[in-house]
Amino acid sequence: MRLTDKQQSHGVSHSRIDSDTAGQRLDNFLLNQFKGVPRSHVYQLIRSGQVRVNSGRVQPRYRLKDGDSVRIPPVRRRSVPAITDVGEGLAWLAERIIYEDDRLLVVDKPAGLAVHGGSGLDFGLIEGLRSLRPGLKTLELVHRLDRGTSGCIMVAKRRSALRRLHTLIRDGDIGKRYLALVKGQWQYGEIVIDTPLAAGRGSSPTKVRPDANGKPALSVFRLVNHYGNVASLIEIEIKTGRTHQIRVHAASSGHPIAGDDRYGDPSFNSQCITLGLKRMFLHAQLIEFVWPDSDEEFIVSAPLPMELKSTLDRLV
């Protein structure tokens, strides 16, 4: 079978893991190696045994160790298309970087941009950043945001920084605050929602539901402002990072997020459209933590996008 112009063929290779790569999950390591290959195919390669570590089969979640030898099979991959598909060049993306040092950068992600390619998307934020900074050996997402959510997202420039930040996340030591417009008049003041969450089986795309046997999920909701009986602006601080956590917790409280087409209220969403809202009203406003190696305080914030401010102005 002849390869098309958008595919490349690669022979078997072996990659020796060094101290800078150690600690990374196998699936994430391969996704970085196999640029242009769908995520589903990467997982199939692991599960079929075509990818091996030290000549043995391992699970996708296996964490690589210093000195491990990873067998990387030949693959057919699509070349990543020009990032100009979502804008004129990369100038727009460079302007979205709101903080950068030698360890990480923080991007004010626009709503509508996925954080990575896959699920029918050829590229996302991380692919764009790698194109923007081709000289960086390592550039990895520290965490994720839903495609419809805007705001602060961290990208590590070093494996050592990624490991430290992942440890902080696991220990609950990174503060992440969001702003959301929700349906109705919020009556609770400040409340903690700790409803466990589980992904629904057989749903595509995945829909998360409250489930007593699910994974722990904790969110703190605080009232910022009422807009009559129509809507309320809420600040949410998350202590865990489950998929769709804020959206499901908001909906379970009886106050779904404006513009949420998966967990929201269709009638409320239609009302918000008349106010000019064309996206989900969820914005990652602030990230804060203390670097464990230096006790240096880190805090960065992204202003509320103009399209969301305009919606609030129309509610007044």
Nearest-angstrom CA–CA distance, 9 and 27: 20
Q: Is the pLDDT of residue 193 over 50?
A: yes
Q: Residue 1: inside a domain, yes or no?
A: no
Domain span at residue 158? 86-163
Whole-angstrom distance, CA of residue 48 vs CA of residue 236:
42
Same domain, 206 and 309: yes
pLDDT of residue 120: 53
Residue 315 clears pLDDT 70, i.e. is over it: yes
- Do 180 and 305 belong to one domain? yes
Q: Is 116 within the bounds of a domain? A: yes
Domain-embedded: residue 154: yes
Domain-terminating residue out of 55, 78, 101: 78
Nearest to 107 by CA among 86, 117, 92, 85: 92
With respect to residue 190, please indicate whether it lies within any of the assigned structural domains: yes
Question: Which tens digits make up the pLDDT trace of 214-241?
Answer: 999 999 999 999 999 999 999 999 989 8
User: 11: which 2 tokens?
Assistant: 């022979």
Tokens of 199: 């992904």
10 Å CB burial of residue 228 (0-12, 13-18, 19+) is exposed
The pLDDT tens digits for 196-214 are 999 876 544 578 999 999 9
Helix (H, G, I), strand (E, B) or coil at 80: coil
| Whole-number average pLDDT of the chain | 86
Q: What pLDDT band is residue 122 in, cutting at 50, 70 and 90?
A: low
Supply the DSSP symbol for 102: S
Collect all residues with Cβ–Cβ distance below 8 Å to 252 and sequence separation of at least 6.
Answer: 193, 195, 210
Does residue 205 have a cis peptide bond before it, meaning omega lies within 30 degrees of 0? yes
Q: With contact defined as beta carbons under 8 Å apart, do 125 and 94 qualify?
A: no
The two three-digit tokens of residue 32, written as one number = 């970085």
| 35 and 139 in a common domain | no
Same domain, 128 and 74: no
Q: What is the CATH number of the domain that holds 24?
A: 3.10.290.10
Residues 311 and 202 grouped into a single domain: yes
172: helix, strand or coil = coil
Annotated catalytic residue, options 68, 108, 146, 265: 146
Specify the pLDDT at position 152.
97
Known active-site residue 265: no
How many CA atoms, within 13 angstroms, populate the side-chain half-sphere of residue 19?
1
Are 64 and 23 in contact, with CB atoms under 8 Å apart? Answer: yes
Look up residue 251 and give its amino acid. A
Does residue 169 fall inside a structural domain?
no
State how far the Cα of 250 lies from the Cα of 186, in Å rounded to an integer. Answer: 11
Does pLDDT of 88 surpass 70?
A: no
* Residue 130 to residue 93: CA distance in whole angstroms: 11
Instruction: Judge if 92 and 70 occupy the same domain.
Output: no
Q: Once rounded to an integer, what is the mean pLDDT over residues 277-286?
A: 96
Q: Does any domain span residue 73?
A: yes
Which of 19-23, 85-89, 162-166, 246-250 is predicted with the least confidence, judged by mean pLDDT?
85-89
User: How many Cβ atoms are within 10 Å of 245's Cβ, its own excluded?
Assistant: 22
**Helical axes 26-33 vs 39-47, angle rounded to 10°:** 120
228 belongs to a structural domain:
yes
- Residue 5 amino acid letter: D
Which residue did the predictor score with more confidence, 119 or 66?
A: 66
> Quick one: 131 and 258 in the same domain?
no
Q: 179 and 278: one domain?
A: yes
What sign for the dihedral angle of Cα 86, 91, 92, 95? positive
- Give how far Cα 260 sits from Cα of 257, 269, 270, Å: 6, 7, 11
Of 163, 191, 213, the one marking the end of a domain is 163
Examine residue 168 and state whether it is found in any structural domain, yes or no. no
Is 45 within 8 Å of 58 (Cβ atoms)? no
Question: Within this chain, do residues 116 and 213 fall inside the same structural domain, yes or no?
Answer: no
In the chain, the number of structural domains is 3
Residues 55 and 180 in one domain: no
Q: How far does Cα 265 stand from its chain's mean position?
A: 24
CATH number at residue 250: 3.30.2350.10
pLDDT of residue 76: 62
Length of the chain: 316
145 shares its domain with 254 = no
Task: Assess whether 295 and 212 both reside in one domain.
Answer: yes
* pLDDT for position 1: 27
**What value does the mean pLDDT take over residues 56-82?**
78
Last residue of a domain, one of 133, 163, 193: 163
